[in-house]
Chains A and B, each alone.
Chain A
Amino acid sequence: MSDLLSVTTLIGILASGIRLATPYLYAALGETFSQRSGVLNLGVEGQMLLGAFVAFYVALTTGNLWLGVFAAIFVGALMGLAMAYVTVNLHAQQGISGIGFYLFGLGMSDLLFQKLLGTVETVKGFPKIYIPGLSDLPILGEIFFSQNIMVYLAYLLVPIVWFVLNKTTLGLKIHAVGENPDAADSLGVNVGRIRYFTVILGGCFSGIAGASMSIALLNVFQQNMTSGQGFIAVALVYFGAWRPIGVLGGALLFSLVNALQLWIQVLNIPIPSEIAIMMPYVLTILVLAASVSRVKGPSALTKPFEREA
């Protein structure tokens, strides 16, 4: 136990916690957009998987990591477009169509992986960027300022998303569409167009989330490598009460517990690893139970909009 409390270990836990939050942040911030406008996109996991594969494949074959990221964004956007069409135009039940897209992404990424690569390969991922001055700070430097570009970008997105949602006309429209689509419609807001926008944007973010795993954090692609992280990201939106700052808090809490769990195994502390892995999930359920009953989400969440004749 004393090992766990040493400074180097704590720094290690915090630094990897900050890093591990990256895919959750991208995916959950994107999901915040779509849920704010009233669309529950449960296909995040599938979008992440396909994004992870495409980013990896493009990066591996072209040698250009950024091309990989853009390819992932493109694929995420396409899947978002499909999700938007199905939920906005066809009024399909959101929770279930999301599961469909999850299965599609799971199957496709696996299929393409086996057909195009076949074996597990690695790419040289994004290098660490040491922020001049700040990275030399004792302790803080290593935790916060010695990460790769995808990590920094994820955190940078938090204030940006906050700004867009709370300080712009677009954000106001998204909010109106999610709370009361009928009223928004009568005020001249195009409900369908807003939802298309948020779901496609959410897809782009999920794609980046996948890319951040396959070419920035782990630098490999494996079958089903997201292993439920997309679903966690959706949960984090509820957890964060549909606010970017809350999402950030949730993502950090979850990934820090996860990092702790990894270190517990590394240090051979006699807690069964399975119990340790369970902790973040149990914690999420408990926090959801404690918070969701008080916080109300967008009123029109999961409800298709139909213009009254």
Chain B
Amino acid sequence: MKKIFQGDWFSQLIDGLLPVFATLLALLVGAVFLLMLRVNPLEAYAALWDGAFGSTNALAETLVKATPLLLVSLGICISFRGDMINIGGEGQMIVGALLATWLGLTFTNLPGWLVIVMAMVAGFIGGAIWGGIPGLLKAYFRVNEILSTVMMNAIAVQLMNFLLRDLLIDPSQAKLASKIPQTARLAEIFRLPRLAPTRLHLGALIAVLLAILVYILLWRTTLGYRIRSVGQNVYAALYAGIKVKRYMVLSLLLSGAFAGLAGAVQVYGVNYRMITDGSASGFTGSAGFNGIVVALFGQLHPLWSIPASILFGALLVGANTMQRAVQVPSALVTAINGLVVVFVVSSEIWRRRRQRHRLAHAKQDETSSPVDTKKVDPIESDS
């Protein structure tokens, strides 16, 4: 591929800043809602900022919230690059966490570091299974992955509710009459190390390292190249001899794996146990959904996901402070996140226009004969 972006630094800067404009716009709309609710937006947003960055502890909490967002968004980067839309982060987190928790409660005699490593792998595998099933269904049965991942979320929630009330229930709860659906606490040696006195844990570092790894995977390996090829033009990928179906499954599977890891990290780094209020967000804090927002904000680039996750972690942590300070329900931040998503995908059109403009310039002296792509069905003809 020719480097068509070179030299056009201003355009690139504008492209890079699009998500920032989108966020500012969303905050502006949020301010209008606040005014309508007779709340001073400046006061509200100041409280939000203070709650997110106002002290060392606030900053640590922001990073704690950012960690699962970053991990989920890494998976989203992979699947969206492969043109597979993964809405199943919530379910994948839950299944990854269930497997990891079971492991930590079962192999209590093993050394701490070994169990932690095994648990992270278990989380990865659990999420991979939960993401891989919709991948298989898409590749071989043409089931829309958006729908199947949503269904898999609902199934995972019930699986969690069932296991936490039954097989995995805290034995001390089982003895009581009022059975709170939760697991026992993990042994102390199994917990991810913390940066005392804050709750910031090793998971944050793991997530950042993995962001670099995913960057390498996507742009420096054949596997990543093929996933992106399938995502960019399925017909061209087919023409190039890529086994499209396999990479469809693989991109969703990997995507789920990172969400599953996020679930495991959440248990081993923050909660030390699983507990359910009957809904998905009770455990995930909606990180499975918000990870999509983060990935989009970072323009599906794993390294940009790092600052993006910190921003959204900050919004989530700050929302609680805002709720206390000016009595604005933290749900406002959910609504603003939704607007950010809408604005970011809407602003894509400007980027594409400029890109086409540049392409037109670059291609003027180039005679190209693209493959006739309209007639082949990628799923049918790939065997």
Contact = CB atoms under 8 A, between A and B. Distances in A.
Given A228-B154, A234-B147, A278 B159 contact: yes
Interface of B: 33, 37, 85, 87, 137, 141-144, 146-148, 150-155, 158-159, 161-162, 165-166, 279, 289, 292-293, 296, 328-329, 331-342, 345-349, 352
Given A97-B346, A107-B336, A278 B155 contact: yes
Contacts of B147: 231, 234-235, 238, 288
A108 interface: yes
A292 interface: yes
Given A281-B155, A285-B137, A42 B338 contact: no
Interface string A268-302: 00001011011001101100111011000000000
Given A86-B346, A93-B348, A107-B335, A285 B162 contact: no
Given A46-B338, A96-B341, A272 B349 contact: no
Question: Which residue of B150, B155, B159, B337 has the most chain A CB atoms within 10 A of its CB atom?
Answer: B150
A216 to B, nearest CB: 24
24 contacts: A40-B146, A86-B345, A93-B345, A95-B85, A96-B85, A96-B292, A97-B342, A99-B87, A99-B292, A101-B338, A108-B33, A108-B335, A111-B331, A223-B331, A231-B150, A235-B151, A238-B144, A274-B159, A278-B159, A284-B151, A285-B143, A285-B148, A288-B148, A292-B141
A99 B341 contact: yes
A101 B85 CA distance: 16
User: Which of B33, B37, B141 counts the most A-chain CB atoms under 10 A from its CB?
Assistant: B141
A55 B298 CA distance: 37
A224 B281 CA distance: 11
Given A92-B346, A272-B166, A275-B162, A106 B334 contact: yes
Interface residues of A, number: 48
Contacts of B289: 99, 103
B347 to A, nearest CB: 8
A102 interface: yes
Given A103-B338, A104-B338, A284-B151, A96 B331 contact: no
A111 B335 CA distance: 8
- Name, among B332, B340, B347, the residue most crowded by chain A CB atoms within 10 Å (CB to CB): B332
A95 B345 CA distance: 10
A90 B349 contact: yes
Contact of A281 (B146, B151, B292, B340): B151
A105 interface: yes
Given A92-B342, A96-B85, A103-B341, A42 B146 contact: yes
A227 interface: yes
A152 B46 CA distance: 50
